[in-house]
Chain A
Amino acid sequence: MRQGGKKLALHLVVVLGALVILVPFYMILVNSFKGIRESALFGMGLPSEWLFENYEKVFEQGNILRGFKNSFLLAGLTVVCVNLFASMAAFVIQRRDDRLMRGLYMMFILGLIVPVSIVPTIRLMDMLGIKGTYFSMIMYYTAVLLPFSVFLLVGFMKQIPRELDEAAQIEGAGFFRLYFRIILPLLVTVLVTVTIVVIVSVWNDFFGPFYLVTDSTKWTIVLQIFNFVSLYNTNWGVVFAFMVIVVLPVLIVYLLLQRYIIDGLTAGSVKG
């Protein structure tokens, strides 16, 4: 009987917690179909009239497809750079484990702690003649996201036995073969996690493009929503529709891959 009461209480806590998370999502969705007056009340009821025009308006005014393309491009290329660079570095850092490599590891860990100096970054991009380019953004994101990725990957790499490296060597595999054919496939779980962390970070980031991208044709989707809200904040229905469009792709990716995110974080963070 007491056990039953405890179970019930636990379920109650969980359901209440889930409601706290889900209600705001529901609020955005339901209000994205409401007219200008009704949406400004932020009510929880269904729309008196379903306005699908809100979504049409967003697509007409927002240059939203260009924003998607920019976000997609930046996220995609950063994923490639971060995964490749971080896993290569993590491999030698963990395997050599000498003084130099421990120093290098510390440097990356410090990068996890230290805040980005954004104004000098703008200056640097200017000096290098790459200010405002996609390339500069990809390099910026790669630099910012390397520390966390190296941290996760070094943690995970400890679980891959060194005997494997020896076996490969005895079989006559060169170092590149060892890395690409044996180590990399074993890292897949963490690489998926890194990929998701990178996609989510780049897709959702406002700070970087706000400072580093001046040309509006290169604006990411998050920068567009910022600009859109500043201009059209009187029509919450349209703003909510914009939010749904921005949130939906990440949410779908998350729902499809959530098992891997959780597994990868589990493997990399705790063993590290």
Chain B
Amino acid sequence: MERRKYPLYFSFPAVAVFLLFFIAPTLIGVYYSFTDWNINADSVTFIGFDNYAALFQEPRLGKALSNTLIFAAAVTVLQNAIGLALALVMNESIKMRNFFRMVFFMPYVIAPIVIGYVFRAIYHPEHGIVNTILNGIGLDFMAQDWLNDPKWALFSIIVTDLWRVSGFTMVIYLAGLQFIPKDLLESASIDGASYWHRLKNIVLPLIASSTTVNILLSLIGSMKVFEMVMVLTDGGPGYTTEVFYTYIRSTFSMGQMGYSTAINLVLFALVTLVGIPVLTALKKREVEM
């Protein structure tokens, strides 16, 4: 069938909804970020770059920026490391393999807000499982107030998110592993290639497209983190775990709409600046393989 015969109008419903409810608010946001729109004021006036000027002088933005980047980098790297390791293990002949696969994916279908509440209990300084276990095996000195200690709070949120998402990454890697021809690995093995050798030279290159999808999804997802931080620490103690969306939430609840829209646009810029080059690099690497 000729390409031109596929009717354009088939794409219209999707395009219309997407333009109206996704692209339009983004563009409206650009306008409002240059205004003093405040829920308590009667009128909205154009104020140029004032919101941005104020924003960049605000230490909270710096905190949100560095925390978001640390969180995103840590989660992306570790989620992929754990997910890949799990996938490699689950690709071996393990007893009850399907059961374990199902278990590892399970947290992904639970609401992040519920997971947040559960981990608040798990991290509880006196009764939480983490400290109970540490005390139980004689590692008392390692017990912490995980969520209220500025040194540990962000770390604890990262661990919680890894608990939630690693199984998803595992499934995508498992998908990639299924397409590797068995005899390729066998012949390499007979030729004397070690496990690490085979992993580096055969397995990893052949699952490159899984890696692209996984890294992209975890990078983007982690930069947009909200519920997990809100429920676990709400950006605290102090602003030590502040991320973009907790910052937006607090300015939103103070009615500073123009200002919070400006924060959103800084996040937009950040995600684009990080996301697009990473995607391009991964895609290029895929082609070269």
Contacts and interface: CB of A to CB of B under 8 A. Distances in A.
B95 to A, nearest CB: 7
A246 B114 contact: yes
B247 interface: no
Q: Is the interface of B mostly helix, strand, loop or mixed?
A: helix
Contacts of A118: 248, 252, 264
B29 A120 contact: yes
Interface string B110-133: 111110011101101001110000
Given A14-B89, A97-B3, A262-B171, A116 B113 contact: no
Interface stretch (A15-23, A53-61, A62-70, A184-192): A15-23
A85 B14 contact: yes
Nearest to B93: A7
A204 B112 contact: yes
A140 B127 CA distance: 41
Contacts of B60: none
B18 A111 contact: yes
Contacts of A203: 111
A121 B117 CA distance: 28
B187 interface: no
A42 B11 contact: no
B117 A243 contact: yes
Contact of B14 (A88, A144, A169, A222): A88
Interface residues of B, number: 88
A24 B113 contact: no
B121 A236 contact: yes
B106 A251 contact: yes
Interface string A136-178: 0001101110110010000000000010011001000001000
Given A250-B109, A255-B102, A120 B117 contact: no
Contacts, number: 252
Contacts of A225: 111, 113-114, 117
Given A14-B89, A239-B117, A243-B114, A266 B15 contact: no
Contacts of A265: 171-172, 175
B171 A266 contact: yes
Interface residues of A, number: 96
B138 interface: no
A124 B28 contact: yes
B111 A27 contact: no
A89 interface: yes
18 contacts: A10-B92, A23-B129, A24-B122, A27-B129, A42-B122, A86-B14, A88-B14, A92-B7, A111-B18, A114-B271, A117-B26, A117-B29, A118-B264, A119-B252, A120-B26, A225-B114, A229-B117, A270-B176
Interface of A: 10-11, 13-14, 17-18, 20-25, 27-28, 31, 40-44, 81, 84-86, 88-89, 91-93, 95-98, 100-101, 104, 107-108, 111-121, 123-124, 139-140, 142-144, 146-147, 150, 162, 165-166, 169, 175, 179, 200, 203-207, 211, 222, 225-226, 229, 236, 239, 243, 246-247, 250-251, 253-255, 258, 261-262, 265-267, 269-272
